[in-house]
Amino acid sequence: MAHAVKDLFPDVKVAIGPAIEDGFYYDFDIESPFSPEDLEKIEKRMSEIIDQDAKFERRILKKDEALNYFKEKGEDYKIELINEIDDDKVSVYEEGGFADLCRGPHLPSTGQVKAFKLLSVAGAYWRGDEKNKMLQRIYGTSFLTAKELKKYLNFLEEVKKRDHRRLGKELDLFSTNDEIGAGLILWHPKGALIRKTIEDFWRNEHLRADYQILYTPHMAKLNLWERSGHWDFYRENMYSPMEIDGIDYEIKPMNCPFHIEVYRSSLRSYRDLPVRYAELGTVYRYERSGVLHGLLRVRGFTQDDAHIFCAEEQIEDEILNVLDFTLFVLRTFGFDDYDIYLSTRPEKYVGSADNWDRSTEALKRALEIKGLKYEIDPGEGVFYGPKIDIKVKDSLGRQWQCSTIQVDFNNPERFDVTFRGSDGKEHRPIMIHRALMGSLERFFGILIEHYAGAFPLWLSPVQVSVLSIAERHVEHASEVLKYLRENDIRVEGKFDNEKIGYKIRQSTVSKVPYSVIIGDKELETGKVTVRKKSGENLNPMAKEELLDLLRKEIDSRK
């Protein structure tokens, strides 16, 4: 692709072009953005290069030779990359008169490339830094056969249809607004109803699991974050402090220090442990504007957070309980397929290596007791402890990070957290950080795409649409609507002077699970006609039968 671009646009400067999952991209420095017509021309030229079946030849150059070579070509980005290479030699690959800096390896020749497609163009800052120049990034993909390529392109079309940003607008669930700021979400009434349903379920299940619900402030004195270690290890994701009464305050990126202070607010005995605190806590983290993405990458979000304070001998049981709780919640929302990763000590960490080893072993043992398959993710633990990450797979087989379980020996030491043991002495508890869904915003975005906006009945913002056929049917339709609403069914009425076919289509497009139709026959029999969003008509039934049907489906959460 880089060869084709250079042939067609000789003044372009080439930057980097790695292979990525399901494809590749290449960044180019060019005056005007690439157009769809440009992509077609590039594809055509790529096909011609493939037909030439030119061999890829690897050349090893001394560093100064490589610098001179790319200086002559005016390739500034290659020069910057070469200067950062520690080795005194670099590898260059050449085919058909075009050469590029690359480690390799490559196919034997260009003719080995089979089915390919250029997918899109996007802006991308050089090195991902907003202070650098904006480049043009061309994405593409390649497969061994045209059949595999077609299957992948169909998959991408389905991904577009399910895009939560598009569906969020069409279904009036949420929005973002430049007047408010990038990465900050406005929950519209229908989206807020779904959020309330999720929150109610979350709180009820946590109370059943013997958690205590907390609410904590949105900011705190800066020295709290210095003590927790966040200011030293997480500062790049935090906002600048604000001064209030001569004291620096910081908007919170995490909830954990607040939960620690609640624990420390009174004396604790070994008989009190484990103490389990849970909070739907809204936090704020700095994300570069280039990576913000609908609900999936935001600057303000609500974590389904919890922290467990326990004695060291209780760690294993608590982790086992959290694993059971996590999988129950994920399955309730329709995620039965997932991958599990055990993340170990990173380069930058706090605490002793011995504590890290004991924490990692506790997580590992719990996974093995449950018979859960997992992979080691080396060096990906958080700065204060190792963790288990659970990544769900949606209905398209895509993987999403949601749940995490983290063991922390560090913060109890930093905050001098203790409990009185059976021996009458002070002991240090262990702290388990845990999130089941991750954040409500991200989880909601995943749910929208997983269900393509057609939520199961228990989550649907509108569960039933009551549709009148004519003006004379409105009174009876209103009675049915009132009956359902009084029995906690989320219901809307469409009683305007439109044809019934139009009202049914409106309900279907809005992905409402059930439509109740009221006409002459329904007035006469006192029953209602029920139509599912799939188009299936159910047998006429009394409104009490309909309520029973709805309640059973809602209670099943299917």
* Distance from C-alpha of 290 to C-alpha of 55, rounded to nearest angstrom: 38
Active site residue 433: yes
Helix axes 474-486, 543-556, angle to 10 degrees: 40
| Known catalytic membership, residue 387 | yes
**Active-site residue, selected from the candidate residues 162, 195, 252, 433:** 433
Is-catalytic flag, 303?
yes
Secondary structure (H, E, C), 359-401: HHHHHHHHHHHCCCCCEEECCCCECCECEEEEEEECCCCCEEE
Known catalytic residue: 305? yes
Contact between 356 and 373 (Cβ < 8 Å): no
Region of 22 (left: φ > 0; alpha: ψ -120 to 50; beta: rest) is left
Specify whether the CB–CB gap between 540 and 529 falls below 8 A. yes
The catalytic residue among 3, 137, 285, 511 is 285
Q: Which residue has the tokens 């001179």?
A: 68
| Distant-in-sequence, close-in-space partners of 314: CB < 8 Å, separation ≥ 6 | 273, 274, 430
Strands across the sheet containing 514-518: 491-494, 464-468, 514-518, 529-532
- Please give the C-alpha separations between residue 214 and each of 12, 261, 431, in angstroms, as whole numbers: 56, 12, 16
Residues near 327 by beta carbon (within 8 Å), at least 6 away in sequence: 338, 390
399 bridge partner residues: 393
Burial 31-62 (b: 16+ CB within 10 A, else e): eeebeeebbebbeebbeebbeeebebeeeebe
Q: How far is CA 215 from the centre of its chain?
A: 24
Q: Is 28 helix (H, G, I), strand (E, B) or coil?
A: strand
Chain-centroid distance, C-alpha 372: 23
Out of 136, 303, 314, 463, the active site residue is 303
Element (H, E) at 305: strand 300-310
Helix (H, G, I), strand (E, B) or coil at 107: coil
Check residue 510 and report its DSSP letter. Answer: T
Residue in 305, 345, 434, 442 annotated catalytic: 305
302's CB contacts (< 8 A; 6+ apart) are 280, 281, 282, 283, 439, 440, 441
Task: In whole angstroms, give the CA distance from residue 105 to residue 121.
Answer: 26
Catalytic residue selected from 6, 256, 473, 494: 256
Q: Catalytic: which of 137, 276, 387, 494?
A: 387
307 carries an active-site annotation: yes
Give 499's contacts (C-beta < 8 A, 6+ positions apart).
none
Backbone angles phi, psi at 437, to 5 degrees: -100, -15
DSSP H or E stretch at residue 419: strand 419-420
The H or E element spanning position 434 is strand 430-439
Q: What are the catalytic residues?
A: 256, 285, 303, 305, 307, 387, 433
